[in-house]
Chain A
Amino acid sequence: MQIFLPIADLSVNLFVLLGIGSVVGFLSGLFGVGGGFLITPLLFFIGIPPAIAVATGANQVVASSVSGVLAQVKRKAVDFPMGFVLLAGGLFGSALGVWVFSRLTAAGQVDLFVQLSYVLFLGLIGLTMFWESVVALRRANRPGAPIRRAHTHNWIHGLPFKMKFRASGLYISVLPPLAVGALVGFLAAIMGVGGGFIMVPAMIYLLGMPTKVVIGTSLFQIIFVTAFTTVMHAVTANTVDMMLAVLLILGGVIGAQVGAQVSGRLKAEQLRILLSLLVLGVAVKIAADLLLRPSELYTITPGLLP
């Protein structure tokens, strides 16, 4: 059954969209990520224009993050003050990202920039995660090996404007969380992702937050950044397709719950290796598109150059 998308101006199979939504939802429930980094490239592959894929992807991440954060709030695993500091940085980054996005759209280089960001960040995160998991698996098989401490004192603790974060048990400057928030907000706007896959490692390794509050806090602030991004894209470029979003969300929220069920039956290290392989797979596919000669060298975009 075909369905016509009013903003994207094209007709897509309903079940393809529900399928994409539920597969991505399944993976996000399985791994505890928003899934934006998967949904946006998948939308590119089925022919949704990049600008619409990015804006609508952000809207979908709002839904999956809300779904995820509620469970975390119940477990008291959200550090609200930290969330707000990250958010302040995130809103700034997001506004900057939306501005850069519209400039690049005008210059005709937005596809390239989005693709390069994907290759760079997914490749980096995928490799790091893969390496970490392999090391962790080896250590698990070889008991007695020294355990690395996540929370160590470094230059970050020498910065001014210190603040107490009770839930995280931290007393650090607000500058690093602001910077992390801004970077993730920027990426959210450009790549149509929540940025959880960057936020989570940054919180653990850069800010030294305890793992139990990381996912909840990251989801909490991602909701607001992606919500802000969605509205910004809707207002500046009219690129949010509500019909597309609803179908993705419908598949997504169901898939996410099934994924969360399955994840309880797998080991954490195995999960992380699987996730890192998935992330690397997406990065390699996008890199191949950039490096191989495309079958059609010419592209058509509506409108004239400004």
Chain B
Amino acid sequence: MIRAALLWLLTSLPAFAASEDIVAGLSQNRVSITADFDGSEILIYGAVKRTAPVPEGALHVIITVEGPSRPLTVRKKERAAGIWINREAVQIASAPSFYAISTTGHLRDILTETENLRHQITIPRAIRAVGISQQAQNAPEFLEALIRVREAEDRYRLRERSVQFTEATLFRTDVVLPANLTEGLYRVRIFLTRDGQVVDRIERQINVRKEGLERFLFNMSRDQPLIYGLLSLLIAVVAGYAASAAFRFIKR
């Protein structure tokens, strides 16, 4: 009786659980922005765990790293009376402050549009821009401009075929976080796809925080703006006084 139940369990288990699972880790789950912060490199690595033989079709990995999202305004300059000034503006409900995609193949080959819509993987999908068409004549251009500007700043990037994938089991990639990093929780998502369909996905988080002096100054400027302003002044006055006193001393 028991033996029969065990047998049943063993044979039917693969049918219940997903046949391929991601096991993954990050080289660090915490990034400290200190005074000498100059960007950081995160190693994302993992393996595909299987309880059954490898199914048909090539397996692919897509890894996204996403910074905290904020609302923002995109403005377009136009020529008026000979000078270039900001005219039309489009408000974007929320756009990630950082977004990096790394893949094992060309995105259009390894991900269908339906799956992209569901999981919001590509850069345009990661930006939530609802109802922008009423705000300006050529609203989609503003969205393209946002992506173009942020790509130039290295805030958004798509690195196809930058994930090493060994024997359809072991994968790894490095993601460089730039020096102009926004504080907050960074979401790392790893997708496993076959024939454009997402087979499995997992999520990890990286906590990016200002530390030490940076943390202290930032908090004070927000919590105690008056004291912060007066302290800035004090530094300026002391520095000015010290410089002239030192100079008189040297001159003598």
| Set of chain B residues within 8 Å of A243, measured between Cβ atoms | 35, 213-214, 217
CA distance A250 to B148 in the complex (A): 37
Chain B residues within an 8 Å CB radius of A260:
247
Which range holds the interface residue count of chain A? 35 or more
A-contacting residues, B21-52, CB 8 Å: 33-39
Given contacts A109-B86, A230-B229, contact A7 B218 (CB under 8 A): yes
Contact of A2 among B38, B91, B239 (CB under 8 A): B38
Asked if B244 and A230 sit within 8 Å, CB to CB, the answer is no
Which of B112-120, B168-176, B187-195, B230-238 interfaces with chain A?
Answer: B230-238
- Which residues does chain B contribute within 8 Å of A230, judged by CB atoms? 229, 232-233, 236
Q: Are B239 and A250 in touch, CB under 8 angstroms? A: yes
Question: Which residues 245-266 of A have a CB within 8 angstroms of B?
Answer: 245-246, 249-250, 253-254, 256-257, 260
Residues of A within 8 A of B217 (CB): 6-7, 242-243
Given known pairs A59-B236, A62-B233, A305-B73, the reply for A242 and B86 (CB within 8 Å) is: no
Residue of A nearest to B241 (CB): A66
A112 CB, min distance to chain B CBs, angstroms: 5
The yes or no answer to B140 lying at the interface (CB within 8 A) is no
CB-CB contacts below 8 Å: A44-97 with B: 59-60, 62-68, 70-71
Q: Say yes or no for A290: interface residue by CB 8 A criterion.
A: yes
Q: Point out the residue from B145, B210, B240, B246 that lies within 8 Å of A65, measured CB to CB.
A: B240
| Across-interface contacts of B214 in A (CB, < 8 A) | 4, 6, 243
Q: Which residue of B lies closest to A67 (CB)?
A: B240
Which residue of chain A has its CB nearest to the CB of B222?
Answer: A238
Name A's interface SS.
helix
B98 at the interface (CB under 8 A from A): no
Instruction: Report B155 CB to chain A, min CB distance, Å.
Output: 10
- Cα separation A301 to B89 with both chains bound (whole Å): 10
Question: Which B residues have a C-beta under 8 Å from some C-beta of A?
Answer: 33-39, 70-79, 82-86, 89, 91, 142, 145-146, 148-150, 152, 179-182, 210, 213-215, 217-218, 221-222, 225-226, 228-233, 235-237, 239-247
Q: Which A residues are within 8 Å of any B CB, using their own CB? A: 1-4, 6-7, 9-11, 59-60, 62-68, 70-71, 108-109, 111-112, 227, 230-235, 238, 240, 242-243, 245-246, 249-250, 253-254, 256-257, 260, 290-294, 296-305
Pull 6 A–B residue pairs with CB atoms less than 8 Å apart, ordered by A. Answer: A6-B217, A10-B180, A240-B221, A245-B235, A303-B73, A305-B73
